[in-house]
Amino acid sequence: MLAEVTGNSASPTALSSTASAASQQREWAGKRLSPTIGFELQDVSIAAKFTEDDIASLRRLLGKHKVLVFRDQGDLTPAAHVAFARRFGPLEVHPIIAHHPDHPELVTFVHNSDSRGIENVFHSDTSFYPEPSMGSILRCAECPEVGGDTIFVNMVAAYEALSPTIKDRIADLSAMHDASVVFGNRQPTKEGRDELRKQIPAVEHPVVRTHPETGEKILFVNETFTTHFANYRQVNNGVWNQDAPAQARDLFTHLMRQARTPEFQVRIQWQRDTVVFWDNRAVQHYAISDYHPHTRSMMRATIVGDRPR
């Protein structure tokens, strides 16, 4: 069993001197889930009361491992789920996805014999917002005996693995993110799709963003919401010849494929009352839809983020 220790070492006397010293010594027992991403905590109830130092320590742990897994959270009520998530920042109320009847901050995903899973595409939640979400906290209420796993991808590692040439090419590129690519399919009429685009207009984000807490560089494009480069011509000194469209498409496709690399991934097998907390700024995910006609029911709280820079 591995133990994750945040902060620097200090004597017991030093630990008792101040609360800040105590926060530096908080240990989270658990195990790494892959060399690249993921940490499963042992014997932690997120329905319990956490100090501000505990929350700061968990935030640092999240920054390091990108995905935190909490098992056996049977005492977590929807209200406690929302309360825990709110310790990390204001919560989003999703404008489209169904939500819990008593807690609009909790979106619900229920798939069964009448509804196949549709989240089986690599994506970063709400990247179509000017300020995409900081993180998501997803609880499994019901899952099949086998199937319905989720793949999480470390997009810091995906960026780091790019060649120096590619890193130079994308350093100043930005791309468009558009909610209507996915949610427009729920609108039966052109008028409905036009209204959706007015409500949630496409936004431009840097292709490489910097993590506001760790300083790491992140490849910030995803195949669900990212549609095209916004400034490919400008970055290439205004040149737009016959080769440029094909070169732009090839580069775009190359970047999208990074999320599919197993070396950057961890695959989480759900159990009832498992909770996963991931850093949405640095992580993409893919919900595997291999369980039809069985039921998979999830609830997610999503924390408001910052503008990518």
The pLDDT, as a whole number, for residue 39 is 98
Question: Range with the lowest mean pLDDT among 43-52, 240-249, 259-268?
Answer: 240-249
- 174 DSSP β-pair partners: 206
201 vs 2, which has greater pLDDT?
201
Percent of the residues in the chain that have a pLDDT greater than 90, as a whole number: 71
**Active site includes 285?**
yes
Check pLDDT > 70 for residue 13: no
| Catalytic residue chosen out of the listed positions 81, 111, 125, 296 | 125
Cross-strand bridge partners of residue 302: 136
Q: Which residues contact 48 (CB under 8 A, 6 or more apart)?
A: none
In the annotation, is 99 catalytic?
no
Catalytic residue of the set 103, 139, 285, 296: 285
How far is residue 57's CA from residue 202's CA, in Å, rounded to a whole number?
35
Is 177 a catalytic site residue?
Answer: no
Count the Cβ atoms, other than its own, within 10 Å of residue 131.
13
pLDDT at 115 (0 to 100): 87
What is the rounded CA–CA span in Å between residue 55 and residue 59? 6
Q: Is 205 a catalytic residue?
A: no
- Residue 92 identity: E
- Per the residue annotation, which of 59, 103, 111, 123 is the catalytic one? 123
Q: Please state, rounded to an integer, the average pLDDT across all residues of the chain.
A: 88
For residue 23, pLDDT over 90 is answered with no
